[in-house]
Amino acid sequence: MEKLVWLLLFTVGYWSYCIFWGVKGARRAKTASDYFIAGRGIGLWVFVLAATATSFSGWTFVGHPGTIYNVGLPYAFASFYAITIPFSGVLFHKRQWLLGQRFGYITPGEMFSDYYRTDAMRFLTVIVALVFSVPYLGIQLKASGLLFNRLTTGTPLEGTFIHSVEGGAIVLSVIVFIYVASGGLRSVAYVDCAQCILLALGIVVLGFIALDLVGGWTAFKGGLVGLAKQKPDMVAIPTRPESDSFLERVGTMFFDAQGGAWTGLMILTYMFALMGIQSAP
């Protein structure tokens, strides 16, 4: 019961914070510019925190360590997307901001339509945004549902609708819809600020907790060595993919379907593909 009390306390507090900014954003949004781009009044650090939370959210917090556990340590090198994703923002965001200030653009579709002198670019921008955003949003909601499923396990909520992954994702999607649809970008930005702080604290704190539970860094390394000795086929020479290289550093590239998929070339192209998170319209 104590676990449920703490869970409800933090969950209700967080949801209340989200809805508060949804209501506040709705009251301040008087024009389309206020709603879609917060009246061009988002501060530097608010934008940085919001962009970070948007780029590195549930798929990083839940999916990244889960994939390392599933496919092995080579995928850990994909963590360098923490460099390539914001790098795309460095390339594009200032230019887009200056053009928006100069010509009064509110959406990327307006900018592309004006530049290419065709309204077809507006529709193309919407299509690209939907193709990217809908699956990306689905990943975040599933990650939230999985996390909520684990948090409610062992509480009186276990076995209820909200305990299921789908139920948790649906409830959380309703909260997201309320504050996004009502408050616009201003609400999203200030909610994302809190999410960024929670995300950073969660990654650091849970990392130390996990390391402590396995007995420290020395015990962790010793466990990997013992696993490699017990199952030598999990360690492969990077240029010879007879196994999945679960405990080995990545190779450059393989020309057949054997071995693990996360080679150096795969990780490099994966990181650059993720630049679309901040460069997509």
Q: What is the pLDDT of residues 238-255, one digit of tens each?
A: 544 444 566 665 655 555
The predicted structure's pLDDT at residue 48: 84
Average pLDDT of the residues in 115-124: 90
- Is the pLDDT confidence value at 126 over 60? yes
Domain ranges of the chain: 2-279
Tokens of 179: 């504050």
Separation CA 176–CA 14 (nearest Å): 12
- Is the pLDDT confidence value at 53 over 50? yes
**Quick one: DSSP state of residue 274?**
T
DSSP 109-161: HHHHHHHHT-THHHHHHHHHHHHHHHHHHHHHHHHHHHHHHHHHTTSTTTTSG
Tokens of 91: 């390339």
Average pLDDT of the residues in 24-41: 86
* Measured torsion, CA atoms of residues 146, 149, 150, 154, in degrees rounded to the nearest 10: -170
Q: What is the pLDDT of residues 76-109, one digit of tens each?
A: 888 888 888 888 888 888 888 888 888 888 888 8
Supply the pTM of this predicted model: 0.80
- Is the pLDDT confidence value at 259 over 70? no
- Is the pLDDT confidence value at 178 over 80? yes
The predicted structure's pLDDT at residue 17: 93
Q: What is the pLDDT of residues 180-232, one digit of tens each?
A: 999 898 999 999 999 899 888 988 998 899 899 989 989 988 888 887 788 77
